[in-house]
Structure 1
Amino acid sequence: MTKLKTFFRRLFAGSFKRMFGYIGTIHKETGKNRFIMFFDMIWCIFRYSVGYMDYRVFGFANIKGKNRRTFMTMNDNITISKRCNDRTYFHIFDNKSEFDEAFREYIGRDFLNLEKATADDLREFCKGRETVFAKPVNQFGGEGITKETVTPDTDYEALYKRLCDNKQYLVEETIKQNEQMDRLSPSSINTIRMVTLLHDGKVHFMYALVRMSNGTNCVDNICSGGMYVSIGADGVIHKNAYCDATGVYYEEHPFTHTKFNGFEIPMFFEAVEMCKKAALVVPQVGYIGWDVAITPTRPVLVEGNTLPSYDMCQNYGHIDNKTGVRPRFVEILGEEYFK
């Protein structure tokens, strides 16, 4: 009954126009028959709870049978978050000011909460700095973030009012990015998404991927035209980066021309250990996707997400052996967690 409900919800919630658009794109990429693919998509909605967008990202046109069962779905992801995370603690992660306070040890930068500060406090905070970042405390995906340039002539009363009017209550010191990470894209802080799972008192590191801007935006979010690629267990990129906006896998960054395959993430293992320690700060929230920046001296936390994305880590162009991440989660949690 649950699968039937999911089937009809996914079927009617989607857009057939977009669905046929995806079918056309996959046909061009693979040469697969459009008619057969349409019915296969319908079957995957019912059998695996995988919609047409995930069908393409997961590469299901080229994956059959038991391998399809290895992919974690949206339903699986939500189930894990519900069972491993206590929602009463979500405010710590949903509010960026609260997050910075709770994880101050791992933030690695100064910050100011304008809800508790004055224009004079803002002036003092900006002293000696050329830029700061202003953020809404409860927005995600890079929405509403601005990079503010400050000079001796800055009108702090006006700046304070504008930021408060825009609900950009969190002002942070600009992160200086590691020179190696700058090679990917210098226009943004190229964050590493690292996912941890706390179960039975033990923190497990699940996977990592790096996101970067297209070379012009100041944020690395995928919805802002950014790119992403998985990171191997050795801290090295072994795949080509993918861009949702273009649907293309890139061997090198189109702006910086840095080759992806073979690129080594600096201080990767230090970042893993930092996330595993941070996972114990609020143990009531056990399934977290951390956004990590690499500075010249250390990895630092940017934010934490209580519902980590399940799709990017299973991108067909980034996986090996046509296998998803579900078995790794089952190994730790047990199959009963997904029922």
Structure 2
Amino acid sequence: MGKLKFLLARIAGLNWKQMFQKIDEVHEKSGRSKLFIFFDMVWCGLRYQAGYMDYWLFEMYDLNAAQRKTVLTRGINNGFIKAYNDPAYMPEIENKLKFAHNFSEFLHRDWLDYSTASDAELNAFIEKHPVFMVKPVDGQCGRGIEKLDVRELSEPVREYLNGAGKVLLEECVVQHRDLMALHPCSVNTCRVISFTHGKKTRVVAAYLRIGNGKYVDNFNNGGMVVPIEEDRGEIIYPALDKSGHLYDVHPLTGVPIKGFKIPLWDEVIALVERAGQVVPQVGVVGWDVCVTDNGPLLIEGNDYPGHDIYQLPPHRTNGIGVLPKFQKAMSECLEAN
């Protein structure tokens, strides 16, 4: 019933023009007939809850049935969110101000709610941190984030920020020297996906986001992404950007990406497992973690983590997706409770 509801909902909101564009692209890349691709897309929707974007992005046309069963598709991911993330508690993670309050012990940096800050509080923050980050409270994918140096402003800071909407001001974090060498312009964060049920939290998957000339590292904002081996914090694949370019070494710094090891990885895992217990009613969370010389800290949490970035075709071995990892972690947590 769940699969049928997902398929019907997808059909109702289907962008037919975009779907046929993707069919054309798959046809050009694979050489298969457009009619075959159309019906194969429909089959994948019925069998694997995969939308046409999943079919295209994960190159499901090149996967056999056994491999397709391992792909975490949009429909399956939505099902996990619906089953394990209580909507009443999701704002505790999604809203950046609530997140800062709830997870203050994991932030290890100063922050200020601009909407309620007095002039004295703002002046004290600026005096201590003349360069700071400005983040929209409800922003996503790095959109709207600004690194502000008040010494370069030609107007009073209040006047400047009053047009920014509801924002959070944060002390800039300084990443670990190894990550700084990789790309110094941005804070290169680890996205760590966890599953929590009751008193048990398990890390499911992880990947490193790397900037490429900008001060944000998001894949959708010009950055690169590459999976991290959860058991040891090592990178074994080349990084990928949204244009499809692969990088064995960083194009700006020349630092090798393949073989790179995330520093203090055991501490990252421990941090996420502790953070998962703060709001256990939200079971599936994507944590953005910055590793510093003094240890890891949380940047933010995502109560609706995407399913695409950590199982892209160049980052799969033998065509195997991440669904088995989710199933294993969920089984361990559910059995422990």
Tell me the TM-score normalized by structure 2.
Answer: 0.89
Which sections of structure 1, spanning at least 5 residues, go unmatched?
none
The answer as to whether partners of 2:70 and 2:321 remain within 8 angstroms in 1 is yes
Pairs within 5 Å for 1:205-284: 205-215=203-213, 217-232=214-229, 233-244=231-242, 246-284=243-281
Take 1:17 and 1:190, find their aligned partners in 2: how far apart are those partners?
A: 36
Q: 1:298 aligns with which of 269, 275, 295?
A: 295
Q: 1:165 aligns with which of 157, 163, 166?
A: 163
Take 2:8 and 2:278, find their aligned partners in 1: how far apart are those partners?
A: 40
The answer as to whether partners of 1:134 and 1:168 remain within 8 angstroms in 2 is no
Matched, 1:329 2:334: no
The answer as to whether partners of 2:70 and 2:323 remain within 8 angstroms in 1 is yes
| Letter of the structure 2 residue corresponding to residue 162 of structure 1 | Y
Take 2:84 and 2:3, find their aligned partners in 1: how far apart are those partners?
A: 23
The answer as to whether partners of 1:77 and 1:307 remain within 8 angstroms in 2 is no
| Letter of the structure 1 residue corresponding to residue 265 of structure 2 | F
Q: How many residues align?
A: 331
Match for residue 286 of structure 1? 283
Take 2:153 and 2:65, find their aligned partners in 1: how far apart are those partners?
A: 62
Take 1:147 and 1:107, find their aligned partners in 2: how far apart are those partners?
A: 18
Shift of 1:10: 2.9
Take 2:22 and 2:218, find their aligned partners in 1: how far apart are those partners?
A: 22
| Letter of the structure 1 residue corresponding to residue 245 of structure 2 | V
Matched, 1:127 2:124: no
Take 1:57 and 1:89, find their aligned partners in 2: how far apart are those partners?
A: 31
The answer as to whether partners of 1:199 and 1:286 remain within 8 angstroms in 2 is yes
SS across alignment from 2:182: coil
Summarize deviations over 1:246-285 as a string: whole Å, max 9, x none.
Answer: 1232223333333221111111221111010111112222
Shift of 1:5: 4.6
Shift of 1:297: 1.5
The answer as to whether partners of 2:186 and 2:217 remain within 8 angstroms in 1 is yes
The answer as to whether partners of 1:142 and 1:221 remain within 8 angstroms in 2 is yes
Summarize deviations over 1:96-130 as a string: whole Å, max 9, x none.
Answer: 11211111111011001112212332121121434
Summarize deviations over 1:60-100 as a string: whole Å, max 9, x none.
Answer: 12211122112222222222222222222222212211211
Distance change (3 Å), C-alpha of 1:86 and 1:189: same
Matched, 1:174 2:178: no
SS across alignment from 1:196: strand
Match for residue 192 of structure 1? 190
Match for residue 64 of structure 2? 64
Which sections of structure 2, spanning at least 5 residues, go unmatched?
none
Q: 1:316 aligns with which of 313, 317, 332?
A: 313
The answer as to whether partners of 2:198 and 2:280 remain within 8 angstroms in 1 is no
Take 1:268 and 1:177, find their aligned partners in 2: how far apart are those partners?
A: 14
Tell me the TM-score normalized by structure 1.
Answer: 0.89
Matched, 1:204 2:202: yes
The answer as to whether partners of 2:205 and 2:325 remain within 8 angstroms in 1 is no
Take 1:27 and 1:251, find their aligned partners in 2: how far apart are those partners?
A: 29
Shift of 1:17: 4.0
- Residue identity over aligned pairs, in percent, reads 35
Deviates more, 1:22-31 or 1:142-151: 22-31
The answer as to whether partners of 2:132 and 2:170 remain within 8 angstroms in 1 is yes
Take 2:51 and 2:83, find their aligned partners in 1: how far apart are those partners?
A: 23
Take 2:166 and 2:255, find their aligned partners in 1: how far apart are those partners?
A: 34
Pairs within 5 Å for 1:41-80: 41-80=41-80
SS across alignment from 1:285: coil
Take 2:244 and 2:115, find their aligned partners in 1: how far apart are those partners?
A: 41
SS across alignment from 1:87: coil
Matched, 1:13 2:10: no
Take 2:158 and 2:65, find their aligned partners in 1: how far apart are those partners?
A: 58
| Letter of the structure 1 residue corresponding to residue 190 of structure 2 | I
Shift of 1:11: 4.3
Matched, 1:113 2:113: yes
Deviates more, 1:65-74 or 1:98-107: 65-74
Distance change (3 Å), C-alpha of 1:257 and 1:104: same
